[in-house]
Each structure stands twice: as C-alpha cells, then as structure tokens.
C-alpha cells in the first residue's frame, strides 16, 4: 500500500488547482459521446414536454447499447489517469476487512446458525451446528461455488423447515430482483428439481414441513401481489394462488410469527396496511382478515400467548403507539393501548420475549432501546452516551430467553454485537468488527452533531466525522451525503471504507434532511408529496451552513446520493450548482414525471403516496417543477459522475442515460460529466463483497481526483 502523504493546506490547494487544470485539458482533448436527438412530445393536462432522448428507453435497440458503451468508453478514457489509484484504494479498503470472518452464531430451533467468509472469496458460506458450537459444521450453502459461473449472483430468503430437514432459498442471477425459489434436502444435500420462478425470494413453511407459502411478482411491473401455496415434491405450475392483491398501489408478502403459531399475509401501501392470519398447523385453511384496510391506518402485528400486539398510528398517533388485542377478536374496536403515543418519541418496532417487551424508539433523532417486563417489575432504557451512534435489536429469534441481542456502532466506533441480560443487566460484547491494517485507532477521529437552519427556519441535524486536528478555515474537503425519502433514516454509522476519505483530510457529513424519519414521523410527512422540495432545500441549506461555518468552501464541497438520493443530487445541482465542486449520483431517479406516468414500470403505482399521482394535475405540475431531467438549464454544472446498471428494476438505466445526454447538450461549462453503466448489474451494483468495493473505489477516486489527491 502506498504511504499516505500529508501536505500543507497551501500545497493541497495548489495541487488541486493544477490537477483540475490538467483534468480540464484532458477533457478538452476527448470528445464526449453525443446522443441523437429524436423529439417526442409528451402531453398531459394540456402541457407538452419535449423529450429528445425518449428513444433511449429501448435496450433491445442496438443503438441504445452502442450509446451506453460509448459513454463507458469515454468514462474509461477520462479516468485512465486514476486507474492505478483506484486499484490502490481498492486494496487499501480490502486490507481493512477481515477476510476469514464470521458472524456471531445465533440459536434457532435446535441449531446454531453461522455466516462466514473465507480469505479471497467474494460470497458467504452459510452453515449450522446442531445443539452446540462444538458440534460438526453442516454447510447449508457455499455461495462461492454456486456463483462461479455468473457475473451476478444473489442468494436470499434462507428458510429452514420446522423439522430441520428442508431449506427453501431464492436466487437472482441477473440483478432484476426476480428470484427463483429452490428447495434443498438437508439430509442428502440434494437440491430438488422443482423450481418456483418470478418470486421475491422469500418464503415460509407451514408447520407440516411440506407446505411452502411464497409471493410471486408481476412479470412487467415486478409488483409482489400474489401469494401462492406450494406442496413440496410437486410442480410449481400446480401451485394454488391463495391471495391476489387487486389494488395496484399495494404489494403483499407472507411470513410466520415469532411464536410460530400463525402464518401471516401482509398487504401494504405507503399509507395503509392490512393483514390476514392462519394457524400454521392448518395450511389448508382459509386466511382471516385481521383488520380490514382503512386508508391512512398503518399497523403491524406480533403474536404473544393469546394476544396480538400492534405498532400502529390508529387515532392520529403520528409517531405510532403499541396496542394489543385478543387473538380471537382482532378488529380495531378491540384494540387496547399498551404504550401510548408521544409527540416527541417515534415508536419504531418491538421485540417480544417470554418475560420481556423490548421497544425500539427514536427521540430527538437518537435510537433508544426500552426494556419492560410484562409483569411491570422492570422498565428501563439501555444507556448510550453520544449523539452520533446507531443501536438496534438484531437476530432475536428465540422467544424463551432473557438475552437481548443488539448492535451498536458510531461514526468513530466499529459495529459491535452485544448480548444483554435483561434480568441481570449484564452485557457481553460478542464481537466488535475488526479493522485490520494496523493503522486504525478510534481515538484518532472525532464526531459531532450540528444543526443547520433551513430557509423556513427549521433546524436540520447534521452528523459529522473527521480526523482529529481539523481546522474550520474553509479548506477542508467535505463529502456530504443524504437520502431523504420513504421515511428511511440514514443513521450515523461506522464505515471502514470511509476511512480512505477521513485519512486524506475529508470531513464526512450526513445531512438528516426531511423525507427521512430522523426526527419522527412528521419529519417524513414534511418531505414527501407536495412538500417534497423541503428535502432538496434542506440539503442545500446544510451545504450553505457547512460553507458559512468554514468547514469547507464551494471549491472543496462534494455531494453524493443514490436512487431517491440520486434524485436529490439532480435537484440540488439544478437549484444550487455553484455550491459544489463534484457530485456522485448513483442509479439516480431523475426522470420523475415520465416514470410516474408509466404504470408499466416497476414500482410506479405503489409510489403514488410517496411522490403523488401525476395523473392529477396538481401533482403533475409540482413534480415537473423539481424533476431533474425536466429542469436541466443552460448554465454551469459541477463535475459529475453518474452511475447506473443496465438491469436495474428500480430506477431504469434510461433515466440517468437520458439525463446525462441532456446535460451534455445543454450545460455551459467545461466541467467533467461521466456516465458509467454496469452492463451486468442492477440497482444494487456488483454482488460480491470485493467487487462492490471496486465500485466504491471508482467513486472515491473521482472525487479525490477533483481535490488533486493521487495517493
């Protein structure tokens, strides 16, 4: 590994300016690809949008593939001078990872289950040991062997039958999230001939050890909307459909309660949920509706003894509350309050044990874990002592135990798996993720939470991490990240990969913008539908704050986001391009109006409650006002790297491809604009753990190159 060279601020700025001049000269020598302009008029509500690149939607068209390959070739040539650096970054990141690593075993139904990796191997090995960790290891799946003939391979949904003799699992070899379910005999090691195509990959066994319930997807939209019942040993063509979700804004799934008593069909949209239940001992029976769907009523269910417990927003409980109801009377008029609604606390989840109820909450943006005995003999919170941590319950599959397993990490502390005795309050750190290489010391880094003020006066929290000795003089490079959609919260988490930025003088900033749930459910509500622009303005206001407080300057500020976070990137570069020197937009959702008007595209109809339905004129015009593709202007844009996957089923490749083509034709600057398409992968990128690191190294090298950092 090359030695990291520390330079003075003056020399760093000089190197950066020289490097950008060199890069600019390189870009002038190379001619970027130019996509043909074929005008297509798209009319809605009397409004006409002219889309010159609509033709890129057809990947069966050889000219489309040719254009993507020309863009890839341009990317390769424009970044050729960083190839060695990318390799060095990859090796550096890889060197911090314990290659022969394994998970903390968890116990379930008589077996300890383990996931482990071997040195030099990309994929996990799933195994188990009967009764004791000293027992002989039984390999369930060596995914390295299974994946060897595929450029992409994803195994998920491992589901062992109650008698421990069979395991169902899903496989996707194209990254389109179309999983084929297989069944393996754990006594003989033989994979059965029967296959179940076009599923979510997940499934659940009835208690008879032969009946398997699973969810099928629509071939075109990929909406998971039909629940089937498969009998082991039969052809899947004979499978009985037991439920079909007719409402195109809903999707469905099936699982078994932790108590193992009930099979559950869940149906959900952004705003509404509904469940059906069936005793797992009687798979031939009919599922019963738990509580009929009511628009705006959200709930989920857990089973304990003779009651169900619901985390729900019933009766305007915006931040949710916990209720219970007898298993024989599940309609909402029978629900009784267990933990009430609080304006300042978001109730996120519960874990049920024989003697304890564990409640996951969020207050002022911070995770809290509350432990309460059913008999009310104890009620307390686990103590956490900073503002940039993440803590959550994991792998609590056993019911009759006093041990709560949870994970803890912070921006400066690697992830730990901790077993906490809820009776004695003693904790045992089962594992702290090792950071190899001999150079990491958590005492060399600092983190803190600061608050930016948005344009409307709202305080926006920002989590920062950096190497000690940072000076607020405006010279620091900052990598600002956010997501900001679907109520998905980006908690402050540790990343050994991120050390490659911090050790080179970067500050890493997570902007907890509206659209996530960092500050409760209302934080999400204020960043969706007709308030979606708050997400974008929050991010811009955080950038302005970081500049005003001299953490950085526009010459050294970089931003990144993926998927809906890529939409965020597209919006902010239209709104305030002058604030950023570089942008990385991964699989960006940038053609919002056209996509949301096309109900044949995967996920569209199920997202009307997130973005709005553009068939309604009010939502149409609001979307159009921020849609990155529709708002490209003839002005200067930052240096930009845009990445996508040809087989992406969530954000189709043509959105970033069209966006880049339009930017090339419209923007008024000589800054770098690159499109890199992974021709083998989809939304999540490469499937192997080390192949994925190469993609991170690619992104990092692009931004570090902007700073003139070559080592």
Say what the pLDDT of residue 456 is. 96
Return the DSSP state at 649.
S
pLDDT digits (tens, 9 = 90+) for 545-582: 999 999 999 999 999 999 999 999 999 999 999 999 99
**pLDDT exceeding 90 applies to what percent of the chain?**
86
Q: How confident is the model at residue 388 (pLDDT cuts 50, 70, 90)?
A: very high
To the question of domain 40-95+446-706 being in CATH 3.40.1640.10, the answer is no
Q: Do residues 575 and 608 touch, judged by C-beta distance below 8 A?
A: no
Q: How confident is the model at residue 461 (pLDDT cuts 50, 70, 90)?
A: very high
**Which stretch of 26-30, 319-323, 398-402, 701-705 has the lowest confidence by average pLDDT?**
26-30
Q: How confident is the model at residue 11 (pLDDT cuts 50, 70, 90)?
A: very low
Rounded Cα distance between 253 and 645, Å, is 26
10 Å CB burial of residue 107 (0-12, 13-18, 19+) is: middle
10 Å CB burial of residue 191 (0-12, 13-18, 19+) is: middle
Is 686 a residue whose pLDDT tops 80?
no
Say what the pLDDT of residue 219 is. 86
- Pair of tokens at residue 673: 């604009």
CA-wise closest residue to 638 among 610, 672, 676, 664: 672
Rounded Cα distance between 558 and 16, Å, is 14
| For residues 406-431, average pLDDT | 96
Is 27 a residue whose pLDDT tops 50?
no
Annotated catalytic, 500? no
- Average pLDDT score, the chain: 92
CA-wise closest residue to 108 among 402, 404, 397, 401: 397
Say what the pLDDT of residue 16 is. 43
User: Is the model more confident about 601 or about 247?
Assistant: 247
**Which stretch of 82-91, 121-130, 644-653, 685-694 has the lowest confidence by average pLDDT?**
685-694
pLDDT digits (tens, 9 = 90+) for 41-68: 999 999 999 999 999 999 899 999 999 9
Q: Measuring CA to CA, how many Å separate 108 from each of 130, 135, 529?
A: 10, 15, 42
Is 5 a residue whose pLDDT tops 50?
no
Annotated catalytic, 273? no
Say what the pLDDT of residue 685 is. 52
Out of 225, 303, 647, 683, the active site residue is 683
Q: How confident is the model at residue 600 (pLDDT cuts 50, 70, 90)?
A: confident
Say what the pLDDT of residue 649 is. 66
Q: Which SS3 state, helix, strand or coil, does residue 78 take?
A: helix
Rounded Cα distance between 440 and 498, Å, is 12
Say what the pLDDT of residue 224 is. 93
Out of 122, 172, 239, 648, the active site residue is 648
pLDDT digits (tens, 9 = 90+) for 171-227: 999 877 899 999 999 999 999 999 999 999 999 999 999 999 999 999 888 889 999
The pTM score is 0.88
| For residues 148-170, average pLDDT | 95
**Which stretch of 264-278, 371-385, 493-507, 686-700 has the lowest confidence by average pLDDT?**
686-700
Is 387 a residue whose pLDDT tops 80?
yes
Q: How confident is the model at residue 272 (pLDDT cuts 50, 70, 90)?
A: very high
Is 19 a residue whose pLDDT tops 60?
no
| For residues 99-124, average pLDDT | 93
Rounded Cα distance between 217 and 239, Å, is 14
Is 158 a residue whose pLDDT tops 90?
yes
Out of 563, 627, 649, 687, the active site residue is 563
Domain boundaries, the chain: 40-95+446-706
Sign of dihedral through CA atoms 545, 549, 555, 557?
negative
DSSP output for 228-296: EEEETTS-GGGPEEEEE---TT-EEEEEE-TTSSEEEEEEE-SS-EEEEEEETT-TTS--EESS---TT
| For residues 372-382, average pLDDT | 95
Q: Measuring CA to CA, how many Å separate 346 from each of 311, 378, 523, 672?
A: 11, 21, 11, 43
| For residues 398-423, average pLDDT | 95
Annotated catalytic, 303? no
Say what the pLDDT of residue 125 is. 97
Is 691 a residue whose pLDDT tops 80?
yes
- Helix/strand/coil (H/E/C) assignment for every residue in 684-698: CECCCHHHHHHHHHH
Say what the pLDDT of residue 602 is. 60
Say what the pLDDT of residue 222 is. 85
Number of C-beta neighbours around residue 597 at 10 A: 16
| For residues 350-372, average pLDDT | 96
Is 322 a residue whose pLDDT tops 80?
yes
Q: Do residues 205 and 168 touch, judged by C-beta distance below 8 A?
A: yes
Q: How confident is the model at residue 8 (pLDDT cuts 50, 70, 90)?
A: very low
């Amino acid at each position: 590994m090359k030695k990291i060279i520390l330079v003075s601020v003056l020399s760093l700025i000089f190197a950066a300016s020289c490097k950008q001049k060199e890069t600019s000269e390189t870009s002038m020598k190379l001619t970027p690809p130019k996509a043909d302009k074929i005008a297509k008029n798209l009319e809605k509500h009397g409004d006409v949008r002219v889309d010159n690149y609509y033709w890129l939607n057809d990947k069966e068209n050889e000219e489309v593939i040719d254009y993507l390959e020309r863009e890839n070739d341009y990317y390769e040539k424009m970044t050729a001078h960083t190839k060695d650096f990318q390799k060095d970054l990859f090796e550096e990141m890889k060197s911090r990872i314990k290659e022969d690593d394994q998970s903390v075993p968890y116990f379930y139904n008589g077996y300890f289950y383990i996931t482990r990796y071997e040195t030099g191997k990309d994929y996990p090995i799933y195994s188990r040991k009967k009764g004791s960790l000293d027992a002989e290891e039984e390999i369930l799946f060596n995914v390295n062997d299974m994946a060897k003939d595929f450029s992409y391979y994803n195994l998920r949904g491992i589901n062992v039958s109650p008698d421990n003799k069979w395991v169902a699992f899903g496989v996707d070899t194209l990254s389109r999230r179309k999983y084929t379910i297989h069944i393996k005999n754990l006594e003989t090691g033989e994979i059965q001939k029967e296959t179940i195509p076009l599923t979510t990959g997940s499934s659940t066994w009835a208690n008879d050890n032969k009946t398997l319930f699973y969810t099928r997807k629509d071939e075109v939209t990929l909406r998971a909307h039909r629940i089937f019942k498969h009998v082991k040993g039969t052809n899947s063509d004979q499978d009985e459909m037991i439920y079909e979700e007719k409402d195109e804004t809903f999707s469905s799934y099936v699982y078994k309660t932790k108590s193992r008593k009930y099979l559950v069909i869940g149906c959900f949209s952004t705003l509404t949920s509904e469940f059906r239940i069936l005793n797992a001992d009687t798979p031939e029976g009919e599922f019963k509706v738990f509580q009929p769907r009511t628009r705006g009523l959200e709930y989920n269910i857990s089973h304990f003894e003779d009651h169900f417990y619901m985390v729900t927003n019933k009766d305007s409980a915006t931040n949710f509350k916990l209720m219970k109801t007898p298993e024989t009377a599940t309609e909402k008029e029978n629900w009784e309050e267990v933990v009430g609604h609080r304006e300042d606390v978001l109730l996120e989840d519960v874990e049920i044990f024989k003697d304890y109820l564990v409640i996951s909450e969020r207050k002022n943006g911070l995770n809290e874990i509350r432990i309460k005995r059913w008999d009310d003999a104890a009620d307390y919170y686990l103590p956490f002592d900073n503002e940039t941590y993440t803590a959550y319950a994991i792998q609590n599959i056993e019911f009759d135990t006093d041990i709560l397993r949870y994970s803890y990490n912070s921006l400066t502390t690697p992830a730990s798996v901790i077993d906490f005795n809820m009776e004695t309050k003693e904790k045992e750190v089962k594992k702290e993720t090792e950071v190899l290489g001999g150079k990491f010391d958590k005492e060399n880094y600092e983190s803190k939470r600061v608050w930016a003020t948005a344009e409307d006066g709202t305080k926006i929290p920002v989590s920062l991490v950096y190497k000690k000795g940072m000076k607020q003089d405006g010279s620091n490079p900052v990598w600002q990240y956010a997501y900001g959609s679907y109520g998905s919260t980006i908690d402050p988490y540790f990343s050994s990969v991120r050390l490659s930025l911090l050790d080179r003088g970067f500050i890493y900033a997570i902007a907890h913008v509206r659209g996530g749930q960092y500050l409760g459910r209302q934080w999400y509500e204020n960043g969706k539908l007709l308030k979606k622009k708050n997400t974008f303005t929050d991010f811009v206001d955080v950038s302005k704050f970081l500049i005003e407080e001299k953490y950085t300057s526009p010459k050294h500020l970089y931003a990144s986001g993926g998927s809906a976070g890529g939409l965020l990137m597209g919006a902010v570069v239209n709104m305030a391009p002058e604030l950023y020197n570089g942008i990385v937009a991964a699989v960006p959702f940038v053609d919002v109006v056209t996509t949301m008007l096309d109900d044949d595209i995967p996920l569209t109809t199920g997202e009307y409650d997130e973005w709005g339905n553009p068939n309604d004129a009010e939502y149409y015009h609001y979307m159009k006002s921020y849609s990155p593709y529709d708002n490209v202007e003839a002005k200067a844009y930052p240096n930009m790297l845009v990445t996508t996957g040809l087989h992406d089923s969530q954000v189709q490749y043509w959105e970033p491809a069209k966006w880049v083509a339009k930017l090339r034709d419209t923007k008024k600057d000589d800054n770098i604009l690159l499109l890199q398409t992974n021709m083998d992968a989809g939304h999540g990128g490469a499937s192997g753990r080390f192949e994925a690191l190469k993609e991170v190294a690619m992104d990092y090298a692009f931004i570090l190159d902007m700073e003139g950092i070559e080592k």
